[in-house]
Chain A
């Protein structure tokens, strides 16, 4: 640990402008790729990429060597359902870009595009990244329209441009919450969704010019935004909770086989697990959700993640914004309730990368992929273990945040001047 820390300090002084080559040696490395887990392995980082993950003797000439013996290395975690970059303080604190109001040029909300609103300087970014979250799906969380709009894949790296992939997915809520917004009933909600799909299919890839006559329900901007969804280019993330709604989603997919559908929440997913697996529908869930908050979540159980995984459904874990850093605890609790440990880690890394189609870039430690990785003090799913050093795109991050600075300012309360002069 001492070696690690001193190296980090040395490297921080030696600048971050020039790309560095790093060799991280001695750790247990969970690649989440074909190489599986390697003991006493070496991870080579060249510029912004993983150059190799290997065992045995390696020539380390030209690398900054980091001793990580006794540590655990994983790919950076991917926030699967967040509003990172869109929210600073949620309530009564000014503009929150993850809350949208209805506007008349977007009749169903599909046109919403959060890529314009991502703020890399948000304090949530470095608070989350020093806890091991290196990229995320970010989208609107509060909308009264049918669709919550187009979400973006973002990096949490210390960058001026956070977007990895704009307009990367579309969200729609087909649970009680969606029905409450759209006509008060699923009897209207599903009609609205089918109408949106059929109008988009009718108009097609070229969209409509402002001069063209159009008597459909969807606005032009919505039709444009929905085309990649109906064409299967980007996933449609559908919030559905009770078994009956999940079966509706499966039937919907059968009616529209081109759609790339991912379920969100799927509280009673375990009751429909085999059908979900057979239809290749992945699930983003909160493994700790075990209470019947509404009549569409009566079967909530801590065993949901394990049962879905056992049936062959791809499980993704990681919801939240301010505390997306707790995704690892959520996964740990899924493991405590029956999910295999490796599947718990996959649910935080390669699985979200796969459903959001950024797995060529991140999600596993493989040669050529972006060097997003975390050196953990131990088992990352343990609540007592922590990210000791995080790399994003090969950059060794400054492991400070405004929270660590507040801590350091107040660790010693005996000061001879007002606290605002104390600069830890």
Chain B
């Protein structure tokens, strides 16, 4: 898809790491100012793992392939191979998957775990910076509470990675962050290494409701004026930096522009380094945003909560914008009134990119069931999609939309071993994630209560270590 960003991002990180002393505040003559592109670097460390072979199992590889009586070998945190008759070496743990299924780990592109954690007290309500309509300067990772018990619940549902986003009160809500579902003492411990940032934006009802009596925007047209002005400001900001570097290269002694954290983030979107994730329900709102995207030459990666994507699935395919959708939520506000149960398969059938997302600490625990409902409803409407293809909604398409598909999102040799062993066909209410592997490590084993994660918050409380 559209991922120039990953490499640029990585280069930026290396460059910045080597030049930390040359940061903007104390540049020495002779060196241009360098902005550290990764001031909160990932400190993620995979849990150590043994080589594991799961055999005799139905495999959905996440990119449309299905293997009956298959086997999957993981070693050194990576997928080594999958096929039908793999021979384990000496110290390989062998798991008999008779009657069970293996899929890539589920990736949720829309979570508020940690920023709206449980317990949902006002002291924990850190997901919406409702102080101005454009707050591109805020980063969701600075709100994440790694002790949210919700992470462990999502793990038991087979979720191995997710994007945590700011809320949708603002036109531009701030940066989202992609994390491994492996929280530890500080948030950096779970940041997905090499993942580009997301930028949360919002169409429609929410911003105009929140700001209607706080100076605006108060209408949809006000919303659109707000996005466009923000991009115009970002262009202007980028031109100042470009000029600065150009002048510097030409041997002049230019004044370094003042850093603006809000415009920094927006300018990175215009450069393709940050992926836009835009909350947008209505078909006409999405249509408008596709034009705004073309006007300012940036990329909207995904429309989230896109309940009306089925009305413009062809246009979304042409614009190469994904839709992240619920299976059947509808009616809680006007822009959700036309939600239908066949939205996801209809988007898929139009050859547009479909993603199943949660936006919910409950929904994230059974995204496989959401996909199953959509898949079954699609078939009844005559959209004959295989289960193997439908699994793209849960892993590959989310990974592509987050810019991490080179690392995860499908079962291909060399990729991170982010894998779920399901007790049965995962397109069933009764199927449960039995084993969840992240980077090849068994981090959840339903049959071994001692393996279940317990957050600090839950220690010493009623129900500690219980079935969750």
Contacts and interface: CB of A to CB of B under 8 A. Distances in A.
Contacts of B288: none
Q: Size band of the A side of the interface?
A: 35 or more
Contact of B342 (A291, A293, A333, A407): A407
B453 to A, nearest CB: 14
Nearest to B430: A336
B121 A291 contact: no
Nearest to B427: A384
A322 B331 contact: yes
B40 to A, nearest CB: 27
Contacts of A90: 331-333
A268 B340 CA distance: 35
Interface string B325-345: 000111111100111111000
Contact of A407 (B150, B361, B381): B381
Interface residues of B, number: 56
Contacts of B106: none
A406 B340 contact: yes
A124 B331 contact: yes
B429 A243 contact: no
Contacts of B380: 386
B22 interface: no
Interface in B344-394: 346, 350, 361-362, 365-366, 369, 372-373, 375-377, 380-382
A302 B341 CA distance: 26
Contacts, number: 141
A301 B334 CA distance: 34
Interface string A309-350: 000000000000011011001001101110000000000000
B244 interface: no
Interface in A286-303: 288-295, 297-303
Interface string B257-270: 00000000000000
B332 to A, nearest CB: 5
Given A403-B339, A407-B381, A294 B119 contact: yes
Interface in B104-121: 118-121
Nearest to A296: B119
Nearest to B342: A407
Contacts of B428: 382-384
A294 B124 CA distance: 11
Interface string B203-232: 001000100000000000000000000000
Interface stretch (B169-177, B309-317, B407-415, B435-443): B309-317
B153 interface: yes
Given A292-B458, A301-B467, A383-B428, A411 B149 contact: no
A413 B339 CA distance: 17
B461 interface: yes
27 contacts: A88-B331, A89-B334, A89-B337, A90-B333, A92-B205, A268-B462, A288-B365, A289-B362, A290-B153, A291-B153, A292-B457, A292-B458, A292-B463, A293-B118, A293-B119, A298-B462, A299-B462, A299-B463, A300-B463, A300-B468, A301-B468, A381-B429, A384-B427, A406-B338, A410-B311, A411-B346, A411-B382
Interface of B: 118-121, 149-150, 153, 205, 209, 310-314, 328-334, 337-342, 346, 350, 361-362, 365-366, 369, 372-373, 375-377, 380-382, 427-432, 457-458, 461-463, 466-468
Interface of A: 88-93, 123-124, 243, 268, 271, 288-295, 297-303, 322-323, 325-326, 329, 332-333, 335-337, 381-386, 403-404, 406-407, 410-411, 413, 419
